[in-house]
Amino acid sequence: MENSLVVAATKKKVCNHLPNDIVLFILSKLPLISLKRFLCVSKSWSLLFKNTYFMNMLRNNILLNDDSYYDETFLVRYTPKYSERCNFYWLSDEGFANSVHLDWPSQFQEDYIHIFIVGSVSINGILCLKHGFTRTSQVVLWNPTTSETKVIPPSPIENRRPDRNPWHFLHGFGYDHVSDDYKVIQMIEYFPGYQGDMIWEDRSYDPSWEIYSLKTNSWKKLDIDMQNCYYYSPLQGNGLYADGVFHWWAISKLKNIEECMVSFDFSEEVMCTTLMPLNMDGGFDVGYVERHLVSLNESIALISKYKKESTFCISVLAKLGERESWINLFTVGPLLSMEYSNIVGMKNNTLFYRRDGELVCVDLKTQMIKELGVKGDRFHFHVGKYKKSFLPIRGIIN
């Protein structure tokens, strides 16, 4: 009898539904791809991304989960003067005055004017460097922790158009977790020489793609049909590597001109495209919008900034290949003197950009701006994330 009374009392206390605040709190903790799936449950859930209260929770959860995996922030400082060198630093949180300068690998000691790092993160301590765009331009894998390097041999694949000059554009460096291999992908475009009667509009045949394997130390052709895209080079930090896939920005020439993100999977060796968010369509004025791909709490994030404006928008992607899965997370700004600035990198919740020739950063949580003490109107910057590793480059594969 006593047990029956306890059960009856317990049943009376049990609520048949959760309070709305708790439901929203739980939903804000879900991975984005799962959250997108739940939008069809009810009308109120379908409007979650228009709910100010929910979006504030979602933003706070994303910004609270700092990416503490990376030890260092690297800075590459460029100058357009061909007589001046670019330099590599470990950037200190206290500012540029406390930063540590590192020498480039010996392969670049005599040619250190414009050295580019592919992407904005290291992979097991390895950075991929390149100088120039010709077939003979050196590509080097470099571990700054141990100073070890691995020179990638030039592609032996012959030029299919002897009457044209091939230009090699490095488009990604990544890790193939299936075959335990490190790979580099590049695109070759064919331009006419400066002699002859070639029409400039006929400057490029369909680009071809090649991929290098560190395990076999060789190149091979890729069977990829991506003729309808114009590619922005991911050098100087415009590309993003995450979870075995390298992403970069491009312009799709199918039907209407639209911007898109191209993603290359190093294990499957396939590409896919994701059109840009509908609410951020730049149309034919794509040159007036700066795009930068970053990682935000393990999600792919797109920073969009219209020139001459002092604000920028951050959107995150829930699922590759689905344009509708872009989520407009928040708008930052207006920020002082942001109109003619350029985004140069991001680490955790700190966004780095160039303002009037000076490197500054803004905390996305507080929107507080900090000057880092790197000045000079002629300078350009590339900021990225680095994780120390003492494993040898070849030993990782062996």
Q: What is the pLDDT tens value at each position of the chain, 398 positions in all? A: 555 545 555 555 555 677 888 888 888 888 887 888 888 788 888 888 888 888 888 888 888 766 667 878 898 887 666 556 788 999 887 677 788 999 998 887 666 667 888 888 999 999 999 876 555 678 999 999 999 999 999 887 666 666 677 777 888 999 999 999 999 998 887 776 655 454 444 544 567 889 999 999 999 999 887 666 666 655 555 789 999 999 998 877 655 667 889 999 999 999 998 988 776 654 445 456 788 898 887 789 998 887 777 788 889 998 999 898 898 888 887 776 666 677 888 888 888 888 877 888 888 888 888 888 887 655 678 899 999 999 898 755 55
Residue 82: the pLDDT is: 56
Q: Which residue has the tokens 């959107």?
A: 315
Residue 77: the pLDDT is: 84
Distance CA 349, CA 363 (A): 6
Q: Are 344 and 359 in contact (CB under 8 A)?
A: yes
Residue 283: the pLDDT is: 45
Residue 203: the pLDDT is: 46
Q: How is residue 77 written in tokens?
A: 């400082």
* Secondary structure (DSSP) of 329-389: EEEE---TT-TT-EEEEEETTEEEEEETTEEEEEETTT--EEEEEE--TT-EEEEEEE---
Q: Are 361 and 370 in contact (CB under 8 A)?
A: yes
Fold of the domain built from segment(s) 71-289+375-397: Neuraminidase (2.120.10)
Distance CA 180, CA 162 (A): 36
Rounded to the nearest 10 degrees, how much is the dihedral formed by the CA atoms of 311, 316, 321, 324?
-80
Distance CA 311, CA 3 (A): 64
> Distance from CA of residue 305 to its chain's centroid?
15
Question: CA distances (Å), 266 to each of 140, 147, 185, 332, 386, in order?
Answer: 19, 26, 9, 34, 20
Distance CA 216, CA 227 (A): 28
Residue 292: the pLDDT is: 87
Residue 379's nearest CA partner among 73, 74, 87, 101 is 87
**What pTM value is reported for the model?**
0.83
Residue 136: the pLDDT is: 65
* Secondary structure (DSSP) of 81-120: -TTS--EEEEEETTEEEEEEEEPPPGGGTT--SS-EEBSS
Residue 144: the pLDDT is: 94
* Secondary structure (DSSP) of 192-221: E-SSS---GGG-----EEEEEETTTTEEEE
Q: Where are the domains of the chain?
A: 17-63, 71-289+375-397
